C-alpha cells in the first residue's frame, strides 16, 4: 500500500457523562483510571466470521478500566456501526481483547476501522478485515525472530506498506535475554536496551518485555495495518524449550513449568490471538474458501521430547555413531506429539483446497553443514560455535533442534501428503536465515517445498561465522544438501506469499540494515510453484 495511506493515530476525545446511580459512578471511576493507550492496537486470527481486536490500557492506579470499542466503516469514524464497553483489570495486565463478528454488510474483502476510547482518551486507529471464503487469490507475509535490542524493526515497517491480507509470525516474537546477553551489542547505541534489564522469569518480567516490544512505533504501524496470525517458538519462553525444560533454564531459576506458565499467560494477554480452552494448545487452522488451508503447528513446547546434543556422544575423543543414530531414529521421539498429529491428520484429511500450507517454527529441510573449519578464524568465534567445529567433519544433521532431530515424526507428516497425492508447502522460521528447499522423503520421493523465512533483526549465520565469505558459505551449503536450492545467510527480511488456484509465488524481501532506520527493500528473490509440480 502507499505510505501516505498507512493509518496513524487518531486522537478523538470522549467526555464522561455524570450520573446519579452507583453502578454508573463506578463505571466512570473505572474509565478515569487510565493514563493512555501507549501500546497501539492490533487485530489477529481472522476467519470468515470474526477477528480478534486488541489494545492495552495503561492505568493510573490499580483498579478496573472501562474501554469502549468502536468499529466504523470509515477511518474518520463518521459511520460507527458497532460499539461495546469492555472492562479490563490487572488480571489480564490491562490488555483488552474482543472477538468481533461483523455483520454481513461489510462484504467479505472489505476493511473496517476500529479504535478504543476511555474517559477523554482515544487509542490509535486500526484497520482489519476477515478472510474471504470466495477469494480467488490471497497474499500474506511471513516473518520470525524479532529481537528488540538487535536492531530496528525495519522489516515490520516495510511489511506495513505491502498489499497483503494478513501477516504470519512464526515465533521468537520477543527474546528473554538480559542486557549484555545475546544480540545486545548495539542495544545501548540504538537506545534499545531490554526491559527489564535482567533475564525474564516471572509473570511481571514477561509482561514488561511484551510491553516494550508493543511500544515500538514500527511494530505498532504493522499491527494497526494488517491482521496477524502468530505462533510462539522458544524465546517467548526461553531458548531451546522442550516440554519439561530448556537449554536456557536451570534449577537456580526456579521451576521451569511455572516459568512456562508465566510466559504463556503473558503471551496470550499481549497478542491478538484467539485462545483455546487449553491455554497451552496454540495449534489451529485458517481457511480461505477452496483456495487455502493454513495449519499453524506448535513444534516447541506442547509435547516436544528433549533435543539430542551430539556433543554428548563423544567418549575419549571418539564419537559413538551407532548410539547417536539409534537415539536419533527412535520412532517414539516426538516433536508435536500424538494429540496434535491426530488433529493435523483430521484437519488435513477434511480439507479439499488448492493449497495446504503448514505454518510452523523450525526447518523441515534436511540440513548438513559443509566442513568450513579451515576457513574460520577461531579467535573471532564464540565458544558455542567452537564446540561444534569437531562435529562438522562427521557429516551429521546440523540442526537437531529442528525436524532433523525428530526424523520419524517428520516422515509421518510427509506420509499424510504422500498418501493424498498432495504437495506440502512448509513455512519455517527460527534459523534467522532465508531458505528455499525441495523436500524429499526417505524413499527420495518429492513431497513438497519449504520457505524458511529470514529474521526481522536476529543475526544470521554469516554474522556467527566471522571470516567466511557469505557467498562461499551459501554455495557450500547448497552443494552439500540435495534439498536446499537457495539460501541467504547475511540479510534480514521477510517472505511474501501470493497464491491462486494454479500458482504460488514466494518472494524473499530483504532490507539493507537493522542498525539504521530505513524500510526500503534492498533486493528480493522469487520462487514460483505449480501445485502439481
Range name among 217-231, 363-377, 441-455, 488-502 with the lowest pLDDT average? 363-377
Q: Are residues 294 and 435 in the same domain?
A: yes
* SS3 assignment, position 213: helix
* Same domain assignment for residues 268 and 385: yes
User: Which residues form the domain of 204?
Assistant: 131-529
pLDDT for the residue 20:
34
Give me the CATH number covering residue 232.
3.60.21.70
Same domain, 155 and 79: no
Nearest to 9 by CA among 88, 95, 141, 124: 124
Per-residue DSSP letters for 288-327? ETTTEEEEE---SSSSPPPPP-GGGGEETTEE-HHHHHHH
**Bridging pattern class, strands 137-143 and 166-169:** parallel
Model pTM score: 0.93
**What would the pLDDT profile of 65-75 be if each residue is shown by its tens digit?**
999 999 999 99
What pLDDT, on a 0 to 100 scale, did the predictor assign at position 531?
Answer: 74
Instruction: Report how far residue 398's alpha carbon sits from residue 514's, in angstroms, rounded to the nearest whole number.
Output: 27
Give the number of domains in the chain.
2
pLDDT at 526: 98
The CATH number of the domain holding residue 69 is 2.60.40.380
- Cite the DSSP H helix spans in 395-451: 407-419
Of 104, 130, 156, the residue at which a domain comes to its end is: 130
- What mean pLDDT is predicted for residues 503-512? 97
Asked whether residue 120 falls in the same domain as residue 159, the answer is no
Higher pLDDT, 386 or 417: 417
* pLDDT, tens digit, 9 for 90 and up, residues 13-67: 222 233 334 444 445 556 689 999 999 999 999 999 999 999 999 999 999 999 9
* Dihedral angle over CA of 470, 152, 147, 233, nearest 10: -90
Write down which residue in 130, 155, 186 finishes a domain. Answer: 130
Residue 386: the pLDDT is 73
Residues 310 and 380 in one domain: yes
Burial label, 134 (beta-carbon count in 10 A; 0-12, 13-18, 19+): exposed
Domain identity same for 511 and 373: yes
Is residue 2 one of the residues assigned to a domain?
Answer: no
| 262/248 Cα distance (integer angstroms) | 16
Q: Say which range, 2-11, 481-490, 495-504, has the weakest mean pLDDT.
A: 2-11
- Does 143 lie in the same domain as 123? no
> How high is the pLDDT of residue 17?
30
- Residue ending a domain, among 90, 109, 130, is 130
Nearest to 26 by CA among 56, 57, 64: 64
Place of cell 539504521: 516
Amino acid at each position: 500500500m502507499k505510505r501516505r495511506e498507512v493509518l496513524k493515530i487518531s486522537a478523538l476525545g470522549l467526555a464522561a457523562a455524570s450520573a446519579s446511580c452507583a453502578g454508573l459512578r463506578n463505571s466512570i471511576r473505572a474509565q478515569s483510571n487510565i493514563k493512555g493507550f501507549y501500546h497501539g492496537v492490533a487485530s489477529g486470527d481472522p476467519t470468515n466470521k470474526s477477528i480478534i481486536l486488541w489494545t492495552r490500557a495503561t492505568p493510573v492506579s490499580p483498579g478496573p478500566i472501562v474501554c469502549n470499542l468502536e468499529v466504523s466503516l470509515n477511518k474518520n469514524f463518521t459511520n460507527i456501526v458497532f460499539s461495546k464497553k469492555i472492562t479490563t483489570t490487572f488480571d489480564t495486565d490491562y490488555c483488552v481483547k474482543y472477538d468481533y463478528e461483523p455483520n454481513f454488510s461489510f462484504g467479505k474483502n472489505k476493511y473496517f476501522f476500529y479504535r478504543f476510547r476511555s474517559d477523554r482518551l482515544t487509542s490509535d486507529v486500526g484497520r482489519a478485515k476477515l478472510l474471504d471464503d470466495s477469494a480467488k487469490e490471497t497474499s500474506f507475509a511471513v516473518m520470525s525472530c524479532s529481537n528488540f535490542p538487535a536492531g530496528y524493526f525495519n522489516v515490520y515497517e516495510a511489511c506495513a506498506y505491502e498489499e497483503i491480507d494478513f501477516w504470519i509470525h512464526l515465533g521468537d516474537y520477543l527474546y528473554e535475554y538480559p542486557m549484555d546477553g545475546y544480540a545486545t551489542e548495539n542495544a545501548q547505541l540504538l537506545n534499545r536496551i531490554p526491559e527489564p534489564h535482567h533475564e525474564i522469569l516471572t509473570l511481571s518480567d514477561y509482561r514488561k518485555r511484551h510491553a516494550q516490544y508493543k511500544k515500538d512505533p514500527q511494530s505498532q504501524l504493522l499491527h494497526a495495518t494488517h491482521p496477524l496470525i502468530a505462533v510462539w517458538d522458544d524465546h517467548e519462553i526461553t531458548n531451546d524449550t522442550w516440554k519439561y525444560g530448556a537449554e536456557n533454564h536451570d534449577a537456580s531459576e526456579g521451576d521451569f513449568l511455572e516459568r512456562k506458565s508465566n510466559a504463556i499467560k503473558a503471551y496470550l494477554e499481549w497478542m491478538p490471538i484467539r485462545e483455546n480452552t487449553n491455554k497451552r494448545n496454540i495449534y489451529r487452522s485458517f481457511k480461505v474458501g477452496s483456495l487455502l488451508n493454513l495449519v499453524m503447528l506448535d513444534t516447541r513446547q506442547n509435547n516436544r521430547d528433549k533435543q539430542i546434543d551430539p556433543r554428548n556422544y563423544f567418549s575419549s575423543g571418539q564419537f559413538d555413531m551407532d548410539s547417536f543414530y539409534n537415539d536419533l531414529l527412535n520412532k517414539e521421539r516426538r516433536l508435536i506429539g500424538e494429540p496434535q498429529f491426530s488433529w493435523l491428520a483430521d484437519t488435513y484429511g477434511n480439507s479439499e483446497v488448492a493449497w495446504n500450507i503448514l505454518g510452523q517454527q523450525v526447518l523441515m529441510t534436511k540440513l548438513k553443514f559443509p566442513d568450513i573449519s579451515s576457513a574460520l578464524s577461531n579467535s573471532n568465534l564464540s565458544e558455542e560455535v567452537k564446540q561444534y567445529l569437531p562435529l562438522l567433519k562427521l557429516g551429521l544433521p546440523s540442526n537437531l533442534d529442528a525436524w532433523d532431530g525428530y526424523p520419524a515424526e517428520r516422515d509421518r507428516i510427509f506420509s499424510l501428503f504422500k498418501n493424498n497425492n498432495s504437495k506440502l508447502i512448509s513455512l519455517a522460521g527460527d534459523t534467522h536465515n532465508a531458505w528455499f528447499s525441495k523436500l524429499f522423503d526417505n524413499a527420495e520421493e518429492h513431497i513438497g517445498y519449504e520457505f524458511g523465512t529470514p529474521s526481522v533483526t536476529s543475526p544470521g549465520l554469516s554474522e556467527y561465522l566471522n571470516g567466511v565469505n557469505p557467498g562461499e558459505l551459501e554455495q557450500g551449503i547448497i552443494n552439500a544438501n540435495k534439498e536446499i536450492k537457495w539460501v541467504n545467510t547475511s540479510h534480514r527480511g521477510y517472505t511474501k506469499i501470493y497464491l491462486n488456484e494454479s500458482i504460488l509465488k514466494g518472494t524473499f524481501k530483504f532490507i539493507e540494515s537493522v542498525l539504521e532506520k530505513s524500510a526500503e527493500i534492498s533486493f528480493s528473490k522469487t520462487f514460483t510453484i505449480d501445485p502439481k509440480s
